[in-house]
Amino acid sequence: MKKELLVATALVSTLGIAGVANAASMSMSGAHKVGVSGKDLDSSTTNSRASDQQSTFSISVSETTDAGMKISTGFDLAEESHTYDPSGLTLTFTDGSKLDLVEAGTATASHVAAVPGAGGEQGVSATTTNNAPTALTMAAASNAVGFEYHTAADAFGVEGLKASVSFASNDVALVTVAAQTASIESTYSVGVTYVTTAGDSTVTVAGGFVNASNNSSATTKENEAIQFGLVAVTGDLTVGVGIASGDYITTPTAGGDAVQVDGEFTSAGVSYVSGDMTFAVGMTSSEGKDEAYGTASSSSADTSDSQSASIAYAVASGVTATIGYTDVDDSDEGAASPNTSGSSWYVGATVSF
């Protein structure tokens, strides 16, 4: 009995003091992009050049409990979109799994293959009624009231496997007017990544599915999409391809009535690293058949095809200089879109801190 007292006082109680949780940590980081871009549209619009500056500032706060669970949260201030962007709450468990609470709900977006593509901020974007999808994550929309669970690496006993599942819920008043924008209600999503080796190559296969209902009685399509991608890395060479297909609701950037879209998106690219230089080429091809809510359209689909290339030079830790070029060919309802077609270039630098 005395020995127990000794151990309690001399060892265990002292260990209790040693086991007090670490102090909270607070970190800040961010990135600033500065450069010049130019575009030469297919329309008769005069070629133009513009400065391109974007900044993002991030704060992260975390604490690790005695049980080993890490609790973290934070926010971004993104100048480029003039937004304050909170991160919700993330719990990281001792086995490496994570649970995102709030600001969560699109698990598929965590499992998108990073298909190589040109870097830089070049583009011929303009307001348009072209509703062809622009990314593999089409339809990945959710209300912020949700959760997202990410397994640890090697999930379910399978080496190289990770999976995520999410659900977000909302209950918005029913909209019965066809021309209004519908709001996303409940979203569920799953995503999976599998990494393996094949000879000298490391192959990543990633994909996911999202389904999101909306509050409109007029729409005949919900947000529902599946995406899938494969990237192989062999030494300094990276090759990848990604495809996505699905339905979603959106509002044209040119304004006007919201539409429902049946879209497909394909991307492919190659990058090669030589010393401090990274060479990349990529292409995207997308097609979206847009129509008024609940109305089957007989017109041709909107399309957008692009080819791009870039050279990135690692100047110093956190600093990259980039030269990029992109050529875009758009069509809207089957008609050429010279205002959103043409070529663009970018010369600039990115600084991460």
Of 257-286, which residues contact other proteins (CB under 8 A)? 264, 278
3-state secondary structure of 5: helix
- E strand or H helix at 4, and its extent? helix 2-6
Q: What residues between 32 and 61 interact with other proteins by CB under 8 A?
A: 56, 58-60
Binding mask 169-188 for other proteins (x = CB under 8 A): --------------------
The answer to whether residue 106 forms part of the interface with other proteins (CB under 8 A) is: yes
Residue 338 or 353 having the CB closest to other proteins: 353
Closest approach of other proteins to the CB of residue 271, in Å? 10
Compare residues 218 and 228 and give the one whose CB is closer to other proteins.
228
- Choosing from 37, 41, 111, 184, the residue that interacts with other proteins (CB under 8 A) is 111
> What is the phi/psi pair of residue 105, to 5°?
150, 0
Q: How many CA atoms lie within 13 A of 307 on its CB side?
A: 0
Q: What are phi and psi of 98, to 5 degrees?
A: -135, 150
Stretch that binds other proteins, among 16-24, 36-44, 251-259, 292-300 (CB under 8 A): 16-24
Sign of the Cα torsion 119, 121, 125, 127 reads positive
In the complex, least distance from residue 185 CB atom to other proteins, rounded to whole angstroms: 17
Nearer to other proteins among residue 151 and residue 339 (C-beta): 151
Residue with smaller CB distance to other proteins, 271 or 344: 271
Query: Is 200 near other proteins (CB under 8 A)?
Result: no
The nearer residue to other proteins, 296 or 316, going by C-beta atoms, is 316
Return the structure tokens found at 75: 């926010």
The answer to the question of residue 157 lying near other proteins (CB under 8 A) is: yes
Instruction: Give the Cα separation of 139 and 114 in Å (integer).
Output: 18
Secondary structure in 3-state letters for 152-185:
CCCHHHCCCEEEEEEEECCCCCCECCCCCCCCEE
193, 222 Cβ separation under 8 angstroms? no
Nearer to other proteins, 50 or 315 (CB): 315
- By CB under 8 A, tell whether 198 contacts other proteins: no
From 45, 50, 127, 159, residue interacting with other proteins (rule: CB under 8 A): 159
Q: How far apart are CA 194 and CA 207, in angstroms?
A: 9
- Per CB under 8 A, the list member of 320, 337, 340, 343 interacting with other proteins is 320
206 binds other proteins (CB under 8 A): yes
Under the criterion CB under 8 A, does residue 12 sit at the interface with other proteins? yes
**How far is CA 239 from each of CA 94, 123, 243, 287, rounded to the nearest angstrom?**
34, 23, 14, 23
Q: Tell me, what amino acid is at 149? A: Y
Among 50, 174, 179, 319, binds other proteins (CB under 8 A): 319
How many other C-beta atoms are found inside a 10 Å radius of the C-beta of residue 256?
10
Q: Which of 173, 198, 296, 316 binds other proteins (CB under 8 A)?
A: 316
Is residue 15 at the binding interface for other proteins, with CB under 8 A as the rule? yes
Task: Check residue 348 for interaction with other proteins (CB under 8 A).
Answer: no
139: left (phi over 0), alpha (psi -120 to 50) or beta: left
C-beta of residue 43 within 8 angstroms of C-beta of residue 329: no
Binders of other proteins in range 211-240 (CB under 8 A): 226-228, 231, 233, 238, 240
Spatial separation of the C-alpha atoms in residues 259 and 182, rounded to whole Å: 9
Q: Residue 27 or residue 300: which is nearer to other proteins going by CB?
A: 27
Q: Cα(301)–Cα(340) distance, rounded to whole angstroms? A: 16
Candidates 154-162, 298-306, 324-332, 333-341 — which segment interacts with other proteins by CB under 8 A? 154-162
Among 104, 103, 108, which residue's Cα sits nearest to residue 246? 108
At position 49, the amino acid (one-letter code) is R
254 near 239, Cβ under 8 Å? no
Query: Does the protein bind other proteins through residue 151 (CB under 8 A)?
Result: no
* Residue choice 133, 246, 282, 288 for contact with other proteins (CB under 8 A): 246
Q: Is 326 in the site for other proteins (CB under 8 A)?
A: no
